[in-house]
């Protein structure tokens, strides 16, 4: 077999395998910036805003958490074990996070807020150049 033919076969095989693989760093559906209402998306300092980054880091106005365990709990739902700190204290939380059919993020038994259930809309954050 000629070298050009072998090279073409290797490239074809590599492209086929690469197309069928999902990268390990793919974002989770719940990642991103979220707020209680769209108007809060525009305010970087809003206490009604939160973000989920890297799949396991959750940030609110004065609270930050890291998920030590995340398990699927349905098609678009996850249970998390969080270690949190905020306002000078450390604590644990075990919320259930889901992405509803309308795209809203629902956090039940969350570590912040007086209600046991928070609902957030996704914030579209423009990229800075």
Query: What was the pLDDT predicted at 116?
Result: 85
Query: What was the pLDDT predicted at 45?
Result: 85
Coil/strand/helix, residue 101: coil
pLDDT tens digits for range 1-54: 554 444 344 334 343 333 333 334 448 999 999 999 999 999 888 899 999 999
The H-or-E segment that residue 64 falls in is strand 63-72
d(CA 103, CA 54): 19
pLDDT tens digits for range 55-113: 999 999 999 999 999 999 999 999 999 999 998 999 999 999 999 999 999 999 999 88
């Amino acid at each position: 077999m000629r070298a050009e033919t072998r090279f073409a076969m290797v490239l074809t095989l590599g492209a086929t395998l690469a197309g069928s693989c999902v990268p390990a760093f793919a974002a989770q559906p719940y990642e991103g910036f979220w707020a209680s209402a769209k108007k809060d998306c525009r305010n970087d300092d809003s206490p009604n805003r939160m973000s989920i980054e890297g799949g396991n880091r959750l940030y609110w106005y004065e609270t930050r958490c890291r998920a030590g365990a995340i398990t699927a709990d349905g098609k678009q739902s996850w249970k998390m074990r969080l270690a949190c700190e905020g306002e000078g204290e450390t604590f644990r939380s075990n919320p259930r996070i889901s992405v509803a059919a309308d795209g809203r993020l629902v956090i039940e038994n969350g570590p912040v807020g007086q209600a046991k259930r928070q609902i957030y809309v996704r914030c579209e954050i423009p990229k800075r150049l």
